[in-house]
Amino acid sequence: MFQCTLCEYNTPKKSNLSRHVNFVHLKKTLTCSLCNYTCHSPTSLKQHNLKIHCTDKKFRCHICSFVFESLLQLNTHLVTHKNNTYACIFCSNVKTKYKRNFLRHMKTCHPNIDKTDYVDCTV
């Protein structure tokens, strides 16, 4: 686990810790070069550029109008519009719409728990 030295936040991924420190403690922002849009993550800036400035749009979400470069990215995104949420019964603050993220959390944080005990923990 990676622990933030400035607060109680901890995470199994170093990249999550870096993002946390940049966003929460350093207040780092990224700015779109074509307008005054600002955000905290490169992914958000990329999505903004695709949605707002890209004239060569490829795969658009029919629910929220986000645009993706591939059908795989669109299909992955569509999961976020489903009502299923995977929640860890051991960590009250861990919830995700993605089963793979939930399984990774369980494997990383609760390796001694049998997978059959939590495989369908949807809320």
Domain positions in the chain are 86-117
CB 67 within 8 A of CB 51: yes
How far, in Å, CA of 20 to CA of 27, rounded?
10
Q: What is the pLDDT of residue 69?
A: 77
Whole-prediction pTM value?
0.38
Q: What is the pLDDT of residue 120?
A: 52
Please check the confidence at residue 64 and state whether its pLDDT lies above 90: no
Please check the confidence at residue 123 and state whether its pLDDT lies above 70: no
Kind of pairing between the strands at 86-87 and 10-11: unpaired
